[in-house]
Structure 1
Amino acid sequence: MQPLQRLERWLISSQAESDGRLYPAAAFRSLVPDLSPGAYRALLHRAERRGLLERVCQGVYQYPGAPDQSGLILFHAAALLRARHFNYISLETVLSEAGLISQMPMSWITVVSTGRSAKVSCGRYGTIEFIHTERRMSDVVEHLHYDSARHLYRADNELALDDMHRFNRPTLDLVQETTDGSI
């Protein structure tokens, strides 16, 4: 069986147990272990052209036959992209969702990461901004909770505000005080 056919059959058969699952580029490697790295990249490119895979962002794909319907695709992609690093949702994303920031770009999330800083374009889905930190998880663990829907840790409002100061964010002036003067 040809590699593209093998990939197509696997994608179709695996959708019964998957609901809008994202895949890292390496996820399909075991289906075609005999391909060279260049041939494997060509296979992914052919699968995209044929409509078997949709590239969400660099190195992250989804099967268009069962796309992510959660509305959380940027968070899921961020978790995959930085799976080997300590990451947590923070800054404008947390403060905006808490109603403590007056403006927030649509389709943009901010994630603090021990990986390098980067802005990753996810095309029509939006942008993921990774902000590098040297902090260890043990330094902030009391301000984090795991958000299973987003597949990432999430900062509380206090840590998100502290991160705004720590990273000298230009949007810090958008943070609104509550009527009692607190954040």
Structure 2
Amino acid sequence: MNFALKVTITLHKAIKDGHFAIFTTHDIALATEESVNDNFRKKLSKGVSNRWLLKVCRDMYALPGNEPIKVGVLEYIASRLHWNKFIYVSLETELSRQGIISQIPFGYLTVMTQGRSGKIETRYGTIEFTHTSRKNLTEEDVYYDSDARIFRAKAKRAIADLKRVGRNTDMINEEVIND
């Protein structure tokens, strides 16, 4: 069986079995029982060129016609990119979701991370990682959103994060916070 067919069949089965439909290079290697090396990466790159594989962002892929339509696509990608660091949605994304600021950032996710800061462009939008050295977060600071499968800042924590990183606080609707 050629590589393209092997990957396509394996990933379709994983999606049918409930996988989120975004696969890392290592997911694909594990599923196809191959090693991640330069040759393997070249085969994936060729799959993108031949359009039987879609590049989501660096080291992440999806299948054409089987892209995820579930809630939390950017959140899922963020979690996979910083799989070994604690992350939570905060800043403008979370404040907008809670109705504390009026602007709604479509296709843009702001995440606090104990890892490196940076912006990642994906085929579904942009993820902005902002480094935090805060390690002792409590239930008063964050909660787990089981629909998006990620931690989210509570309002007080998101506002504190916004101030700490020097972002614009003029958009905050004080009336909503006090209700």
TM-score (norm 2): 0.89
> Following the alignment from structure 1 to structure 2, what is the Cα–Cα distance between the partners of residues 174 and 13?
46
Instruction: Tell me how far apart the structure 1 counterparts of residues 104 and 116 of structure 2 sit (CA, whole Å).
Output: 23
> Is 1:110 the equivalent of 2:102?
no
Shift of residue 2, structure 1, vs aligned partner:
2.5
Q: Is residue 2:174 matched to residue 1:182? A: no
Q: Take 1:45 and 1:160, find their aligned partners in 2: how far apart are those partners? A: 39
Taking a change above 3 Å as real, the CA distance of residues 88 and 143 of structure 1, as seen in their structure-2 partners, is same
CA distance in 2, matches of 1:22, 1:53: 11
Q: Counterparts of 2:92 and 2:178 in 1: how far apart (Å)?
A: 17
* 1:53-90 per-position Cα deviation (integer Å, ceiling 9, x unaligned): 21122222222232211242111111111111000011
Corresponding position of 2:155: 157
Give the deviation of 1:13 after TM superposition. 2.6
Point out where structure 1 has 5 or more consecutive residues left out of the alignment.
none
Aligned to 2:49: 49
Any unmatched runs of 5+ in structure 2? none
Provide the residue aligned with 1:64 in structure 2.
64
Tell me the C-alpha RMSD between the 2 structures: 2.0
**Do the aligned residues in 1 keep the contact of 2:140 with 2:154 (CA within 8 Å)?**
no
Cα shift at 1:32: 4.4
Give the secondary-structure state (helix, strand or coil) at the position aligned to 1:61. Answer: strand
Rounded Cα–Cα distance in structure 1 between residues aligned with 2:142 and 2:157 = 8
8 Å CA contact retained: 2:142, 2:152? yes
Give, in whole Å, the separation in 1 of the partners of 2:97 and 2:29.
Answer: 38
CA contact (8 A) 1:22 1:60 kept: yes
Q: Shift of residue 146 of structure 1? A: 0.9
Separation of aligned partners in 2, 1:77 and 1:135: 22
**Length-normalised TM-score, structure 1:** 0.87
- Please say which of residues 56-65 and 127-136 is displaced more in the overlay: 56-65
* 2:140 aligned counterpart, secondary structure: helix
CA contact (8 A) 2:53 2:62 kept: yes
Identity between Structure 1 and Structure 2 (%): 30
Count of residues in Structure 1 that have an aligned counterpart in Structure 2: 178
Paired with 1:149 and 1:23, the residues of 2 have a C-alpha distance of 19
User: Contact (CA 8 Å) 2:29, 2:36: kept in 1 or not?
Assistant: no
Amino acid at match of 2:173: Q
Contact 2:89 2:150 in 1 (8 A): yes
Cα distance, 1:36 vs structure 2: 6.3
